[in-house]
Amino acid sequence: MKLWMRKIAVALVTIVTLGIYTPTDLLNIEAEDNKDNVASKADVNEAVSDSKEAEKIDFHVGTEDNVINQLTEKAKEQTIVKFGPKIAGQVEEEFNTVILPNIEAVIQTIVADHVVNDYSYFGITEQPAKGYGERIFNVYDHHLEQDIATFHVRRDNRPLEGHYFNFHYHLSSDGFKEHHDIGEIYWDKNTPPKWMA
């Protein structure tokens, strides 16, 4: 018993004194050694302006395939966030093989229908709906400053069958009223947890 008390006392003293004492001589030596590695303010400003220019170039040189790949990847991320770890653990593989290719095809059609020359104005909105809300993400046109399509997942409880996740989207061309089916994933007979749980 005394041995355990000593070990606990040593551990507590170590935790309590952690970071309280820092030898100042070592700090001065380290600062002098790194003096040559510090960039001047002009170097930092030049690097920032170069990176901003690179961002502008990347933003305005969007090819159709590149933009569709980026939108699909962002859509996948938002959907996994929407699922939350409890649901994603069970349905992520089926989502990737069945639903995601359909979402990519829909995004490709939407982009092709709304773009003349520049593909870089499309984006995916973040913040999927929590709890029992349906919203996963919206496809947004920054040039027109409006949503082009909204992607949702609805929980369907079919008697004697169980619970399904129904993926669908709405388009701005019909006022977001019409349901366009993407596909569905079977959950279980038990009620699924809330989104993002």
In this structure, which amino acid lies at residue 161? E
Read off the pLDDT of residues 3-35 as tens digits, 9 standing for 90 and up.
777 777 767 766 666 655 544 544 454 444 444
Please tell me the pTM assigned to this model. 0.65
Distance CA 166, CA 156 (A): 7
Read off the pLDDT of residues 84-142 as tens digits, 9 standing for 90 and up.
889 998 999 999 999 999 999 998 888 888 765 566 678 888 777 777 888 999 988 88
Model confidence at 60, pLDDT cuts 50, 70, 90, reads very low
pLDDT at 96: 92
Long-range contacts of 103-106 (CB under 8 A, 24+ apart): 103/72, 103/75, 103/76, 103/79, 103/151, 103/167, 103/182, 104/68, 104/72, 104/75, 106/149, 106/151, 106/169, 106/180, 106/182
Using DSSP's 3-state secondary structure scheme, residue 57 falls into helix
